[in-house]
Amino acid sequence: MNAFGQEFPVSERSREVTARVAEPLKNAFTTNGLVWGSPVFLRIFKDTKRLETWVKKEEQFVLFKSYPICHFSGQPGPKTKEGDLQAPEGFYEVKPSQMNPNSDYHLSFNLGYPNVFDLAQNYTGSYLMVHGKCVSVGCYAMTDERIEEIYTLIQSAFEHGQASVAVHAFPFEMTAQNLSQYHEHPYAEFWKNLSEGYTLFEKTALPPRVNVKDKKYVFE
């Protein structure tokens, strides 16, 4: 538990990792004018296989580092049912309790699938993670080295009081040009809905508040 009353699981493995990885990350923060423990935000893009880590600097988030995704399973489109091997797309939230320092895949955190939107569609599935190693049956596998840094960034933010970390997962960058290429795709309307949240962040550099109404994402 930190000074803000948040509880998050730790293990001998996670303690060793965060102790080892924190110092070089702190140095990188200093170089980039960032304060260690500042709130973080993640974006995932399937087409370019990358996970972006953003850190709050004063009143906005700035891109800290992009990590190659080693592997994910499935095609562009959301996860809709247990066993479909799809990696999720949408707007997720990671709370301290979703951190797994004892993962079979080195370290991991649960994306929180199914979220309210997924449940409204009657989608099914569980234990959709971002984790180490390079194998996936619906998760985002980062390799052990990369998950160590990402995990440490998130844990530091939790330790300094961030209540939850937003993770936005997209099939591609949700630009008008990219969306036009998929206007006849079965998930075109879903992706158009995702693009609303994507565009708000691009304009403000602040993750929007995400809710669900009439089976669609709505944003503030």
Active site members: 131, 139
DSSP 184: T
* H or E segment and range at residue 57: strand 50-57
Unique residue bearing structure tokens 């955190």: 109
DSSP-derived pairing of the beta strands 90-94 and 99-100: unpaired
Distance of CA 213 to the CA centre of its chain: 22
Instruction: Give Cα separations from 159 to 7, 46, 97, 120, 215 (angstroms).
Output: 9, 30, 13, 33, 34
Unique residue bearing structure tokens 């099914």: 124
